[in-house]
Every structure is written in C-alpha cells, then in structure tokens.
Amino acid sequence: MMKTFKYLSVPLLVIMQISYGQSVEGNVDNLPIHEYELTIAKEKVNKAGKEVMGMTINGQIPGPTLEFTEGEYAVISVANNMDVETSIHWHGILLPNFYDGVPYLSTPPIEPGHTLKYEFAIKQSGTYWYHSHTMLQEQSGVYGSIVIQPREKSLEYDKELVVMLSDWTNEKPMDVLRNLKRGNEWYGIRKGTSTPLNQVISRGALGAQLDFWRQRMEGADIADVYYPAFLINGEQKVDYPGFQQGEKIRLRIINGGASTSFWMTFGGEEPLLVSADGLDVVPVRKNKTFIGIAETYDFIVTMPVEGKVEFKITAQDGSGTATAFLGKGKVLPAKIVKRPDKIGMMQKMAKMDMKMGAHALKYRPKKDERFKMKEEYGMQMGGMQGMKSGDMDGMQMKDEQMNMPKDSIQMDHSNMPGTDMPKDSTGMARSKMSGMDHTKMTNREMKNDDAMGHMNMNNSREEGTDGKQEMDMFSEYNYDYLKSPEKTTYDDNIPVKEILLNLTGNMNRYIWSMNGVPLSETDKIKIEGGQVTRITLNNLTMMHHPMHLHGHFFRVINKNGEYSPLKHTVNVPPMKEVTIEFYGNEYGDWFFHCHILYHLMGGMARVVSYDTPRDVRMKGYPVSKLVAETDQFYSWGMLDAASHTTALNLISSNIRNQFNVSFEYGWNKNLEAEVTYERYLHDYLRVFGGVNIENETPKSLDNFKTTAVIGVRYLTPYLFALDARIDNELRPRIGLGRSIMLFPRFSVFGYYEYQIDLGIVNNLPVGKDLSSETVWSAGGEYMLSRNFSLMGSYDNRFGVGGGLSIRF
C-alpha cells in the first residue's frame, strides 16, 4: 500500500489513505527495524587550509551514509554533544510530521546533552540526505547522505558511490550572514565576481549599469558568499581507484551546499541520468548538468576501457571547483565550465526590459498585492510580443543535453506511456523516437533561432557546445530533461487551490521574502487534504532560489506535461516562473523555504499548514521561536581612524528596526555624536528619531548643543542614501551620500549635507539671523581585507587626511 507514494497519479488509492494522524502511517509493527546512532559534536576541522571549529556527525564531515531498504522501519538516535540546540531534518523523506525535524515547527529541538529518537517507516527508495535545520549549522558540517535500496531493483549497475557536494567557509557562518547583512563587498572582491565600474565601462555596459542602478540594483548576482573550498565527500580532490573497466557505477550525487549550486561535468562517455531527487526518471544521456542546492541526481557512469573518469563540480558563479576521480590511469578530463559573465548578463537583462526592485519588505504586509506585484515587476514582454516565458523555454533544445529529441516529447502523450518503453541492460528506457530524424529537428531549432535572432542570449559558451545560441539566458536551468516514467497528473475531479508566491529579495539589506513579506510578518499558508495545491513561484530577484517543500513530492510542470517530474526541491532562476503542484495527503505543518541557508535566515520561508491540531508533544516549543530566528538583530561597527578625523559607527538591525550610534571627532575639535532609532516602512524608506550632540557652534567649540531630531532616510533610485531631518529648533537638514566601486577593491564615496538655521525657536523674525551650513566630503577607500580598508578623503571642515577603516 505504501508504494503508492511514488505515483500520486493514482488518486483513488491516495484518497483512501487520507485520515489524519498516525493512521496515515498504517501498521508499522511488522517492519524490520534498522537502527542508527548519530552524535553531533563541535570539533576542530581542517577543510580549507586552516583549523577551525566545525560541527561533526560521528566525528566526520559529511556525516555517515545511512543505508536502508524500502519497507524497513528506521530508528535513528541523534545525540547532541554540543553546547547549543540542534536538530536533524530528513530531506526528501516522507515521514510523520513529528519526525520531520524542523525545530519548534514539527519537532522539538535537541537540547545540549540530550538525545532524540526519530523513527519512521521507510516508504520510498532513492538518494536523499539529512542535515541540521537549526540556524546555519548545516554550513558548519551537520549533513550526511541517505541511501534507500528499493524492494525490487529498478536499475542495473555494478557498484554505487555516494557523492556529497558542499561548500566550506573558515568563517563562523553567523559572521558570514552578518557580513551579508551589512553589505560588505569583500566576498565578491575575494572571489573575483564583483563588477567594478571600470570593467562595466570597458565593456560598454554603462547604460545597462545605470538601468540597474535606477532600479536600485547593483548588478546581476549569482552567489553571495566567498568559499575557500568546495568539497566532494569532504575533500577538494578525492580518488576512487577501486572501479574496474566496463563496470557501471551509480553515482548518488547530493548537493549539501549551504549556498552553492554547481555545474557537474563528467570525463569519458556521456553518463546516464537515471534519477532526480530520489525518484527514477526516464534515463537520459546528459553530461553538463546543473544541481541546485538540496537536489539529488543519480547518474550511471560506465567505466572506460582505459583511464580514470573525472567528475568535476564548478560553483555556479565560477568561483571554484572540486574533483573526484573514478578508476585508475590516465585522466579523462571533465569539461571545464566557464565563469559566467555577469556584466554580459546585466546587459542582456537591461535589454530585455526587466523590471526589478520589487519590495522585499512591503509597507503593508497584510495587504494582498501579489498579483499587482507580478504585473508590475519581472520580465516585461516588450521585446517578445505574444510569447510566454514557457514558450521560450520550450524552444531551446540543446543537443548536448539529451540523446533523445526532446521535441518529440511534446507529441501526443497518450501514445507513449512510459511503462511501454522497453528497457535495455542499463535499465534505460529506449525511446521509440530515438531513431527520429535528428537533422530535421536541428533545422527546426535553427529556424527558431533565426526568428528570435535578436534575443540570442548564450551567456556561457562552454567548451563542447557547438556554438548554438540559446533563446533565453536562463534556459539552461530548466528541467525539461526530466521526465517521469509514469504519469504524475492528478484526477481532474480533485479541486485545485492556486497560490502565487513572488520570490522577493533585497541585496542592500539582505532581506529575503515572498510577496514582499518575510516569514516573521506572515501567516501560515493553509492547504487542504484531498486537494491539489498549485503554487506559482515567480522569481522577481536576480538570484536563483532552490525552493524546498518538506514532507511532499511536487510535480514540476515542464514540457513533459503529464509526465512532468516529481521533486522535493525546485530551482527557480532569476526573473523566471515555475509552477509546482502537489496532492494534499498529509497532516500538520510543513516548512517551505529557499534552501540557500542565508536566504532562509533572511526570511524566505513559509509554513504550509493542513490546519490540523498541533501534536501535543510540541507543547512548550512555540513556532514563534523558529520565526524569531529569521528576524534576529545583527550588529556591526566601523571605525575610521584618519589624520583629520575619527569616526565610529555602530549599527544594530533586524528586519524592521535599526539602532544607530555615531560619533565623529575632527582635528579642529569639532565633535558630533548621534543616537537614532529607525523603523523601516519598506525596504527603501525608514523614519527615525533620536538625539544629536554637537559642539560645533560658530561661537565656541566648548559649547555642547543637544537637539532632538526626527526625519526620514530613503534609498533613492541610483542608490543614493538620503537623510532628511529636522531638529527641535526646527532647523531642517538634508544629506546625500553614495559610494561606487570604481576598480576592484577601490571605491569612491561622497557625502553632502546642507542645514538651514531659520532662527525660529530663538524668536527671531524669519530671514533675520538666517544661517546655513554646508558639510561635504569626498574620498576613496581601498579594501585590504574583509575588515580593513585604507581610506583618504577631503572634508570641508577637517581638510585632507587619510587613515584606516576597521570593520568589526
């Protein structure tokens, strides 16, 4: 009975299973028990040339592979030997809500010194993984793989190898997030992915840059964090010499990266992609393949007669690679994936007339503006009248991606049920259409290319491509190569609930949300058992978001129609729309979130709720604690120690609130200190109030003047920071500041401030004794490291000087 999970297209059986509570699990008493013990501890580890504190499972990173057979009953004890709470989430596993492992939502956290026993029936097979769902612990090493063998083997191969991919930082993950929150440019500089103005201009992209700046965007973005190492099974380079010629090796590849998606390439002959997110797909020969964060893909690699096969992963932004070798002898190299051209992407996007800058933090979070938002922002269809983005996807067909004409899949599905496909020795479904005239298809493709010639947007012309241009700059990310061997559709009679989620984000403040509302300001998404929930994910940001739904497999609607694949994680490319749908056969509350950990912590998450009574065992573990993790205060400071002035700035900020303390002391003994509290009305606008102390009066520098100030701060189009205020003597003041990176590491900045003293409070007639004051400064900053910069500036009060800026 439990086998039905895989093919939710059998609605009758599924409906019969719906009865909330434990009964969904059926009788588990007779299942063979398979036990594991895991211990999570803090330990010194060296993954990237430096010994730092990491978090290990049973003393290792990644943790051990948990192996099961479908039909067993898993009992996994997780002991917490750390001084902080932890948790384990079983990613992609269908299990009772209580054991899903999201602390405070479905499962209690594992307190320091405590052990939690997770137990569930294994109702599926395939490649999955597990990881901590507490804060950023996954980045520190709390992840491992799960392999579940099917009751009956569906694929033929000789050996298998788990391949766990991840990213590694030597920094404390919370420091990484703090640096993202403060907008530190260092990570981009460090990995060479920043796009300073000199490069933009030399590429003739100033117009595009201005277009981006006008919409308050710095540029096209791919990945935010600098990683000194990317890992395969915990190593930057790893050898598996034990495979013999002719053997078929099933690679079970899992992306356990905290914020890195990868391009995978293989040396030797084209590998056979056989499964995605744990479930079998119609096998397809495919080499260069994208793996989003938290996805899993299984490939069967046939060992060559001679040499060892290189398996290479390249971080999506081209900032690093890792390699595994299978076999012995001469290396059969994997294709090199070129670094994406961010300036080129920006130019193309500017040309496509994309409307950016949708709010990541709306003014009125409770007001439903989803559809307005979708209409206003995103891909504007000006340049491609009458075409839907889906059409665009469907039109690109790269030969290298498949050994089967994709086009044919669009034909009448009823004629080609997947089960009718004969299987060859590798278990590959040999398509009836594989003999189809391939040249003809190529001609058609080329015709499409011609028709759309003006929007050819091949942004990564990697080696091995025959130079064919792509329609759409993100088409290489679509899932059209994934086809379920079975129909995945639901019965027409089942009611469908449609949900629109615009994916929104703000790089300046590193706030991530959906529909402009972060997790901390929203209610649960109510869904119903016995219904189909169809979610349209409309990405209005410049980043990819790998969206993961707990406890369910959803259909990712692609060109394969009724045979669209089932997945647990779907990558949504920038400015693209992806529709997923799933059948409600669960109970409880499930997390739905972006699997970039830093985006999840930034608020890009929702609770999907069947609105069933909360498990009594969750008493004392309020969900508000989970929500609060996404709305923490982050604090940072900066000290300028220069020959002409000393300045100190301290900021503490969560999503809506910010505290600022600033202190400035010039060589002429001018002193100004200010404490303000500000409230973000939306991403770009905040109101503030506070106290200002200044000794800078025309008559005497010993005379301190304390004033109360209120005002607004606003991030203008073209990214100017505007500060407009008035003090209790009714003196208005306006300030404007901007910083631009001219060269790698080198930025210029300018600040202008104008204050008028109308003398109103002193009861002088307006116009009499009117004085004004102008303050301005301009300078440059050269970043030495994440925390240090050399700076020099001219200030109209203090003159010329230079010194050191320290970020802490």
**Cβ at position 41, least distance to Cu ion in Å:** 29
Angle at the Cα of 435 (from 283 to 304), degrees rounded to 5?
50
Report the distance separating Cα 593 and Cα 535, nearest Å.
Answer: 13
Q: Rg (Cα) of the chain, in Å, rounded?
A: 28
Q: Tell me the two tokens of residue 139.
A: 């980045």
335 touches 461 (CB < 8 A): no
Using CB under 5 A as the binding rule, whether residue 148 contacts Cu ion is answered as no
**Cβ at position 774, least distance to Cu ion in Å:** 43
335: left (phi over 0), alpha (psi -120 to 50) or beta: beta
324 touches 268 (CB < 8 A): no
Q: Compose the 551-590 pattern: x for residues touching Cu ion by CB under 5 A, - for all others.
A: ----------------------------------------
**Cβ at position 599, least distance to Cu ion in Å:** 3
**Cβ at position 23, least distance to Cu ion in Å:** 36
Q: What are phi and psi of 602, to 5 degrees?
A: -85, -5
Which range touches Cu ion (CB under 5 A), out of 313-321, 544-552, 568-576, 755-763? Answer: 544-552
The amino acid sitting at 730 is L
503 touches 542 (CB < 8 A): no
Q: 475 vs 539, which CB is nearer to Cu ion?
A: 539
Exposed e or buried b per residue across 152-166, where buried means at least 16 C-beta atoms within 10 angstroms of its C-beta? eeebebeebbbbbbb
Residue 243: strand pairing partners = none
Q: 317 vs 694, which CB is nearer to Cu ion?
A: 317
Q: 219 vs 602, which CB is nearer to Cu ion?
A: 602
Q: 105 vs 596, which CB is nearer to Cu ion?
A: 596
Q: 123 vs 599, which CB is nearer to Cu ion?
A: 599
By CB under 5 A, how many residues form the interface with Cu ion? Answer: 4
Report the distance separating Cα 664 and Cα 793, nearest Å.
Answer: 14
Q: 157 vs 510, which CB is nearer to Cu ion?
A: 510
Q: 121 vs 135, which CB is nearer to Cu ion?
A: 135
Residues in contact with 366: Cβ distance below 8 Å, sequence separation at least 6, in sequence order: none
35 touches 28 (CB < 8 A): no
Report the distance separating Cα 265 and Cα 333, nearest Å.
Answer: 9
Report the distance separating Cα 585 and Cα 592, nearest Å.
Answer: 16
Q: 288 vs 545, which CB is nearer to Cu ion?
A: 545
Q: Give, for 348, the enclosing helix (H) or strand (E).
A: helix 342-351
Tell how strand 525-526 and strand 569-572 pair up: unpaired
Report the distance separating Cα 347 and Cα 650, nearest Å.
Answer: 37
Q: 360 vs 741, which CB is nearer to Cu ion?
A: 360
**Cβ at position 498, least distance to Cu ion in Å:** 22
Q: Compose the 588-617 pattern: x for residues touching Cu ion by CB under 5 A, - for all others.
A: ------x-x--x------------------
**Could you identify the residue written with the tokens 């759409």?**
472
Q: Is the peptide bond prior to 64 cis by the omega test (within 30 degrees of 0)?
A: no
The amino acid sitting at 586 is E
DSSP letters for 180-213: HHHT--HHHHHTT----HHHHHHTT-HHHHHHHH
Cα dist from 374 to 115, 260, 500, 574, whole Å: 46, 27, 9, 14
Strand order in the sheet with 143-149: 66-69, 143-149, 126-131, 89-91
Number of H helices, E strands in the chain: 12, 45
Q: 455 vs 601, which CB is nearer to Cu ion?
A: 601
Contact residue for Cu ion among 216, 406, 545, 550 (CB under 5 A): 545
**Cβ at position 146, least distance to Cu ion in Å:** 24
**Cβ at position 544, least distance to Cu ion in Å:** 7
Q: 74 vs 626, which CB is nearer to Cu ion?
A: 626
**Cβ at position 331, least distance to Cu ion in Å:** 35
Single out the residue of 425, 436, 150, 143 nearest to residue 278, CA to CA.
Answer: 150
**Cβ at position 545, least distance to Cu ion in Å:** 3
Q: 292 vs 666, which CB is nearer to Cu ion?
A: 292
**Cβ at position 195, least distance to Cu ion in Å:** 21
Q: Compose the 766-805 pattern: x for residues touching Cu ion by CB under 5 A, - for all others.
A: ----------------------------------------
Helix 342-351 and helix 206-214, axial crossing angle in degrees, nearest 10: 70
Q: 250 vs 599, which CB is nearer to Cu ion?
A: 599
**Cβ at position 480, least distance to Cu ion in Å:** 22
Which range touches Cu ion (CB under 5 A), out of 80-88, 542-550, 557-565, 628-636? Answer: 542-550
61 touches 54 (CB < 8 A): yes
Q: Compose the 5-24 pattern: x for residues touching Cu ion by CB under 5 A, - for all others.
A: --------------------
Q: 144 vs 574, which CB is nearer to Cu ion?
A: 574
Residues in contact with 368: Cβ distance below 8 Å, sequence separation at least 6, in sequence order: none
Q: 228 vs 603, which CB is nearer to Cu ion?
A: 603
**Cβ at position 502, least distance to Cu ion in Å:** 13
**Cβ at position 546, least distance to Cu ion in Å:** 7
Q: What are phi and psi of 624, to 5 degrees?
A: -60, -25
**Cβ at position 453, least distance to Cu ion in Å:** 33
Which range touches Cu ion (CB under 5 A), out of 165-173, 247-255, 545-553, 687-695? Answer: 545-553
**Cβ at position 363, least distance to Cu ion in Å:** 23
518 touches 512 (CB < 8 A): yes
Q: 118 vs 226, which CB is nearer to Cu ion?
A: 226
**Cβ at position 604, least distance to Cu ion in Å:** 5
Q: Compose the 334-373 pattern: x for residues touching Cu ion by CB under 5 A, - for all others.
A: ----------------------------------------
Residues that bind Cu ion in the complex, under the rule CB under 5 A: 545, 594, 596, 599
